[in-house]
Amino acid sequence: MNPTKTAAWNNLTDHYDQIKGLSIADHFYRQPNRGDEYTLQSLGLHIDYSKHRLNQETIKLLVQLAEEMELSQAILAMFRGDRINRTENRSVLHTALRDLSSSSLMVAGEDLLPEIKRVRQQMEVFSEMVRDGSYLGHSGKPIRHIINLGIGGSDLGPAMVCQALTPYQHPHLTVDFVSNVDGSHLAQVLAGKSPDQTLFIVASKTFTTQETMTNALSAKQWLINHYNGDQKAVAAHFIALSTNQEAVCEFGIDPKNIFVFWDWVGGRYSLTSAIGLSIMLAIGKDNFKSLLSGFHQMDRHFLQTPLESNIPVLLALIGIWYNNFWGAQSHAILPYDQYLHRFPAYLQQTDMESNGKSVDQQGKVTSYQTGAVIWGEAGTNGQHAFYQLLHQGTKLIPADFIAFTKSHHQMGDHHQKLLSNFIAQTRALAFGRTVEKLSQLNIPKELVPYKVFDGNRPTTSIMAQQLNPDILGKLIALYEHKVFVQGHIWNIYSFDQWGVELGKELAGEILPELRGGLAGGEFDSSTNRLINYFREHQS
């Protein structure tokens, strides 16, 4: 259904006209207790959505929109395994991967949980052996270095989680991630590593992705060179995470070293599947279980909580409010935690690969805006880079500020300083600094216009006690479901990614040209020129 045809959308358009003149400061003036009234506390998360250009009527209308779009039915359909990924004719069941409380999950006459549990156990046995040093490389030495070769969903999630949970990592194992087909990435990670103590994880759902297969072949060569051409070394030093067992075997990986998952796990939603093996190796099976439990608690919250107090639903609806009624083009993710500095990059794929669509579920070009540009950086670093534009630029950029009350490192007053910046920024963005305030400060008159902060820049503050596996699981699931809600309301298919295919195909056509052969001529003049420039400047 086209969301713009709902009564709620119409009402929201009128409502926008009525309240667009009210600033965030005006809303606080009218409702001084907004800080209490617009805060949700659930699952150990403190979500403050008071610093927004909205009131209770806005929330009511947004919830009405969700109801008219039959969101609750859509949530149920996903959890029970309906084939909601219609363009690929697949279920979307990443929630089953972390379902720690159900005894069965019947989909098309098959219970999915036993197989999920079997693979998780396989992962646990394997990771315990690597972690306790009983898993040995080809020359009988324990593994010290783990290198995950994958890209997109087979890289960003595990890399982000391993980084975020650094304090929980095994002290004697290094875990690296190589994704780029740029040989510099692999070369940099291999430098200084001893092949006889290195384990490669080839992580690829399809096991056909150019970048991953190229890196895997080069890594294999590096290993075999070390063992003077002994191919048998591959069995001890390569494992695979994939849905494509046939291709894995063809690559030469021992079938007992394959950790499988299923086509109903989307790449960008796969970190709780076998794709998370690097995480389990890094933090151990118990911490991995806490991560899954965090995910599962947020899944249950999403499934069972009424829309108006459902955290992912609320954040999604507020995003729609800015995207479709205020014309915001982007959304910033600003974690005040250095360990979360990869979180914005991870969410870029989750959100932009899911909702970067302009054709609706009926095959028609949408007449309204869909997915926002997601970007961000850890605070306080971003404050000294792009916050100038957030505060005084011409763009409206709603932002999520994320912080934790306890640091993993008690170091002087670093953490109080970090958090004072976190809180101060959301205050400055919301309330700004007026000409009247400036006039009390003895500012030279000609500088006043430059020092005025209009404020009225919306933020959501998300806080929790500490960045641990459980809280991280909840945070990730929160954003996964936020993306689902938005995609559903925009009436698009969030679980395919056809838009990445064309570039792949064209790269396949251009590669032979770069490898040699006749000079170009079959492409457009710009492409030909670029190909020729490459050829002429290689040596």
Give yes or no for residue 355 binding ligand F6P (CB under 6 A). no
Q: Which of 211, 353, 377, 480 is catalytic?
A: 353
504 catalytic residue (yes or no): yes
For 400-493, where are the alpha helices, taking DSSP H only? 414-431, 435-439, 448-451, 469-489
Residues of span 442-471 touching ligand F6P by CB under 6 A: none
Name the token pair of 382: 């971003």
Residues in CB range of 324: below 8 A, 6 or more apart? 368, 369
Instruction: State which residue, 150 or 520, has the beta carbon closest to ligand F6P.
Output: 150
110 catalytic residue (yes or no): no
Residues of span 153-192 touching ligand F6P by CB under 6 A: 153-154
Alpha carbons 500 and 266: distance in angstroms, whole number? 14
Instruction: State which residue, 267 or 344, has the beta carbon closest to ligand F6P.
Output: 267
Instruction: State which residue, 153 or 458, has the beta carbon closest to ligand F6P.
Output: 153
Give yes or no for residue 55 binding ligand F6P (CB under 6 A). no
Q: Which of 395, 504, 509, 522 is catalytic?
A: 504
Residues in CB range of 485: below 8 A, 6 or more apart? 66, 71, 312, 313, 316, 317
Instruction: State which residue, 257 or 497, has the beta carbon closest to ligand F6P.
Output: 497
Give yes or no for residue 85 binding ligand F6P (CB under 6 A). no
Is residue 23 within 8 Å of residue 456, measured between CB atoms?
A: yes
Stretch that binds ligand F6P, among 28-36, 73-81, 152-160, 438-446 (CB under 6 A): 152-160
- Burial class of residue 487 (count of CB atoms within 10 Å of its CB; 0-12, 13-18, 19+): buried
Residues of span 240-269 touching ligand F6P by CB under 6 A: 267-268
Give yes or no for residue 206 binding ligand F6P (CB under 6 A). yes
Q: Which of 384, 409, 445, 537 is catalytic?
A: 384
Size of the site for ligand F6P (CB under 6 A): 14
What is the tally of helices (H) and strands (E) in the chain? 23, 13
Give yes or no for residue 273 binding ligand F6P (CB under 6 A). no
Alpha carbons 190 and 147: distance in angstroms, whole number? 9
Give how far Cα 283 sits from Cα of 133, 293, 445, Å.
15, 15, 57
Strand segments, DSSP code E, in 62-216 are 106-107, 110-111, 145-149, 174-178, 198-203
- Burial class of residue 156 (count of CB atoms within 10 Å of its CB; 0-12, 13-18, 19+): buried
Alpha carbons 325 and 196: distance in angstroms, whole number? 58
Stretch that binds ligand F6P, among 67-75, 174-182, 205-213, 419-427 (CB under 6 A): 205-213
Give yes or no for residue 148 binding ligand F6P (CB under 6 A). no
Give yes or no for residue 205 binding ligand F6P (CB under 6 A). yes
Q: Shortest CA distance to 38 belongs to which of 51, 57, 22, 26?
A: 51
Instruction: State which residue, 152 or 398, has the beta carbon closest to ligand F6P.
Output: 152
Instruction: State which residue, 154 or 426, has the beta carbon closest to ligand F6P.
Output: 154
Give yes or no for residue 209 binding ligand F6P (CB under 6 A). yes
Which parts of this chain interact with ligand F6P (CB under 6 A)? 151-154, 204-206, 209, 212, 267-268, 353, 497, 500
**Could you give the residue numbers annotated as active site?**
353, 384, 504
